[in-house]
């Protein structure tokens, strides 16, 4: 009776803390739900910014590639027009070539030979040429287009001394399509704003306002910090929670917002589900407590009777016949003691074996770490060697320029010194670009602009470019290129082809043959590059795709490079849903690199996710 009279007091002591905890948990849950919603907006803004920067970076890469066009150096603008048309970003984008006076020489938006206008802001063009720095413009109005547009521009100086400005122009609709594939709800507005506070493009339910200034309070918040949240009203008066972030490659900014009502509704939905689950858990806990309490009372009662009957045979009989699992477990405890002791001895022996295995693993891990450290040291030594050679040449060229005015110094010495500076600076930039490119690929930060393209034509274009640059003049190249249509990013596949072709040239003696084939095998387009070079030893072959792997070399090696080309190639091929394989019969037996890509009409496979050391552990 006494226990029952305290039930209500016990219930009160339980319910009060539970109620306090429940109110605190609701408040924390509400705060957490709002934080999750705002974090989703922030992540969407940063993701949109990455897409925008990827488009700008792609345009800059294409412009830098076109700068080395032989047709541009020779003044063959018709051929350059075709090359620019092939490299153009797609619908809503076009290429423009200007001379030093702002006259358009080629415009892929128009047919070649059409009359082309002169650029109105010649001062900006001359400033770019003088500083040799590219520009990502603000919003411009095109009278001929009758719409707004933006440009990514790059000044170019050809080997023959010709000076141009290459421009990749985009309409606002191009960037609107860029966000179409992102996981951003259709009800969320996405704005792209230039540094002057002018709207570049927008995706929301309001009217298009491209070229108009954004509200003053929004622009003030954007200029006050590199990123942050803000709250403003949309064109139709809707309250918006937004997050802005600046582009890393321009003075543009991206704003992604969400209607406040939508955020509140999502929070309430999450709260209702959480509250229902919490109440269900409390009800289940109360029921389980009542059931367990009854069993506990019976267990205590039987234990009391058994304690009073200790020493009697009947007590053992009562315990053995008890229906309580805990009491029956007590009877089994003694019988299980011997078995438990044996199990404990076996467990200790097993633990000893596991400890020895752990020691072996630790030693293997230490050995692997030492090998990785040695690989790092070897890479740093080779990187230092790769950097020392151009830096030495640059230092010598600077010394020549310092003494160019001295009597007796040949007039052509200054020109040679400048050639050395340009060549070695380009080499240094190539090294740094390779390192940054493979890092972005391994970290999954590369974006593909996939479209239907002929792999055979892509290979033919890369081979033509290599031949025109003189890279293949000491080798015999045989091409057998069948039409094979794939869904691919032309720029990235050109990187793959160029890297494989560079390796074939680099590791093959002059006068040897390089065979390149493209063929269709079922649902796959297959590209094969076979050389007659130094080959790959069997111990190195399984590791050729690892970062910095180049085989045994000295710092005085003639091939150069950092050993990251095939790593980048494999990642780019896998991002296209394909596979790459390298085969070699051994040293001095040549090598064959085979790339298999799914055809454009074949079912597309899910892209692989890299893990382990291939996912980027090397740069730590």
Model pLDDT for residues 478-520, shown as the tens digit of each residue: 999 999 999 998 888 988 998 899 889 988 999 999 999 999 9
The pTM of this model reads: 0.43
Instruction: Among 3.30.450.20, 3.40.1350.10, 1.10.238.10, 3.40.50.300, name the CATH number for the domain at 1-308.
Output: 3.30.450.20
User: What's the average model confidence in pLDDT over 110-116?
Assistant: 88
Q: Give 348: exposed, middle or buried? Use CB within 10 Å, 0-12, 13-18, 19+.
A: exposed
> Rounded to a whole number, what is the largest CA-CA distance in the chain?
124
Q: CA–CA separation, 527 vs 608, rounded Å?
A: 21
Which are the contacts of 452, defined by CB distance < 8 A and separation ≥ 6? 485, 486, 487, 600
User: What's the average model confidence in pLDDT over 527-546?
Assistant: 86
Q: What is the pLDDT of residue 442?
A: 61
Residue 576 has pLDDT above 60, yes or no: yes
Q: What is the pLDDT of residue 591?
A: 93
Q: What is the pLDDT of residue 366?
A: 86
**Among candidates 52, 56, 55, which has minimal Cα distance to 44?**
52
Higher per-residue pLDDT: 93 or 386: 93
Q: What is the pLDDT of residue 48?
A: 83
Q: CA–CA separation, 248 vs 274, rounded Å?
A: 40
Higher per-residue pLDDT: 300 or 564: 564
Q: What is the pLDDT of residue 311?
A: 47
- Mean pLDDT (the chain) is 77
User: What's the average model confidence in pLDDT over 79-86?
Assistant: 90
Q: CA–CA separation, 200 vs 212, rounded Å?
A: 9
**Domain spans of the chain, in order of start:** 1-308, 446-552+560-598
- The residue length of the chain stands at 620
Cα 208 to Cα 169, 201, 232: the distances in Å are 19, 8, 18
Instruction: Dump pLDDT digits (tens) for 222-246.
Output: 888 888 888 877 666 777 888 899 9
Q: Give 72: exposed, middle or buried? Use CB within 10 Å, 0-12, 13-18, 19+.
A: buried
Q: What is the pLDDT of residue 594?
A: 96
Instruction: Dump pLDDT digits (tens) for 48-59.
Output: 888 888 888 898
Architecture of the structural domain at 446-552+560-598: 2-Layer Sandwich (3.30)
Instruction: Dump pLDDT digits (tens) for 311-357.
Output: 454 444 444 555 556 656 655 664 465 466 567 778 888 888 888 98
Higher per-residue pLDDT: 381 or 198: 198
Most confident of 205-219, 239-253, 366-380, 518-532: 518-532
Q: What is the pLDDT of residue 612?
A: 39
Q: CA–CA separation, 522 vs 526, rounded Å?
A: 10
Tell me whether strands 140-142 and 147-157 are parallel, antiparallel or unpaired.
antiparallel
- DSSP category for residue 57: H
Instruction: Dump pLDDT digits (tens) for 577-619.
Output: 999 999 998 888 899 999 999 998 877 665 554 433 443 333 3
């Amino acid at each position: 009776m006494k226990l029952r009279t305290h039930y209500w007091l016990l219930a009160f002591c339980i319910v009060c803390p539970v109620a306090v905890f429940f109110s605190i948990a609701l408040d924390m849950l509400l705060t957490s739900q709002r934080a999750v919603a705002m974090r989703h907006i922030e992540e969407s803004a940063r993701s949109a910014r990455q897409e925008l920067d990827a488009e700008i970076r792609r345009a800059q890469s294409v412009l830098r590639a076109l700068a080395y066009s032989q047709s541009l150096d020779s003044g063959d603008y018709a051929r350059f027009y075709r090359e620019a048309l092939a490299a153009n970003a797609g619908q809503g984008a076009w290429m423009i070539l200007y001379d030093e006076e702002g006259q358009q020489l080629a415009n892929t938006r128009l047919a070649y030979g059409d009359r082309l206008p002169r650029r109105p802001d010649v001062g900006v063009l001359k400033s770019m040429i003088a500083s040799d720095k590219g520009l990502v413009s603000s919003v411009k109005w095109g009278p001929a287009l009758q719409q707004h547009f933006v440009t990514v521009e790059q000044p170019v100086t050809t080997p023959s001394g010709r000076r141009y400005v290459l421009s990749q122009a985009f309409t606002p609709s191009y960037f609107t399509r860029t966000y179409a594939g992102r996981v951003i709800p259709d009800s969320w507005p996405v704005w792209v704003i230039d540094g002057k506070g002018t709207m570049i493009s927008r995706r929301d339910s309001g009217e298009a306002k491209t070229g108009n200034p954004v509200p003053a309070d929004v622009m003030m918040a954007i200029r006050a910090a590199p990123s942050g949240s803000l709250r403003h009203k949309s064109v139709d008066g809707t309250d918006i929670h937004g997050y802005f972030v600046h582009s890393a490659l321009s003075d543009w900014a991206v704003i992604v917002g969400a209607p406040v009502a939508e955020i509140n509704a999502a929070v309430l939905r999450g709260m209702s589900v959480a509250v229902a689950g919490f109440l269900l858990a409390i009800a289940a806990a109360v029921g389980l407590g009542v059931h367990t309490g009854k069993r506990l009372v019976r267990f205590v009662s039987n234990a009391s009777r058994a304690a009073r009957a200790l020493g009697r045979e009947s007590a053992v009989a009562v315990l053995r016949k008890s229906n309580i699992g805990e009491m029956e477990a007590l009877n089994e405890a003694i019988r299980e003691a011997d078995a438990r002791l044996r199990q404990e001895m076996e467990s200790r022996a097993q633990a000893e074996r596991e400890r020895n295995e752990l020691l072996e693993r630790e030693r293997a891990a230490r050995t692997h770490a030492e090998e990785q450290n040695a690989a790092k040291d070897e890479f740093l030594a080779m990187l230092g060697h790769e950097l020392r050679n151009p830096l030495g040449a640059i230092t010598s060229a600077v010394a020549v320029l310092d003494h160019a005015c001295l009597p007796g110094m040949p007039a052509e010495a200054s020109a040679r010194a400048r050639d050395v500076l340009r060549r070695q600076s380009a080499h240094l930039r190539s090294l740094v670009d390779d390192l940054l490119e493979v890092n972005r690929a391994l970290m999954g930060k590369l974006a593909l602009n996939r479209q239907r393209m002929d792999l055979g034509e892509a290979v033919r274009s890369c081979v033509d470019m290599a031949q025109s640059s003189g890279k293949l003049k000491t080798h015999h190249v045989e091409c057998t290129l069948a039409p094979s249509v794939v869904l691919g990013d032309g720029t990235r596949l050109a990187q793959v082809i160029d890297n494989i072709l560079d390796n074939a040239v680099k590791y093959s003696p002059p006068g040897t043959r390089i065979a390149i084939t493209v063929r269709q095998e079922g649902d796959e387009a297959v590209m094969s590059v076979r050389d007659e070079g130094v080959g790959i030893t069997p111990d190195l072959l399984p590791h050729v795709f690892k970062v910095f792997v180049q085989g045994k070399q000295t710092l005085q090696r003639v091939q150069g490079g950092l050993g990251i080309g095939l790593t980048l190639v494999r990642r780019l091929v896998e991002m296209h849903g394909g596979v790459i394989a390298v085969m070699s019969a051994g040293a001095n037996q040549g090598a064959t690199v085979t790339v298999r890509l799914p055809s454009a009409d074949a079912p597309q496979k899910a892209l692989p996710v890299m893990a382990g050391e291939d996912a980027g552990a090397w740069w730590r």
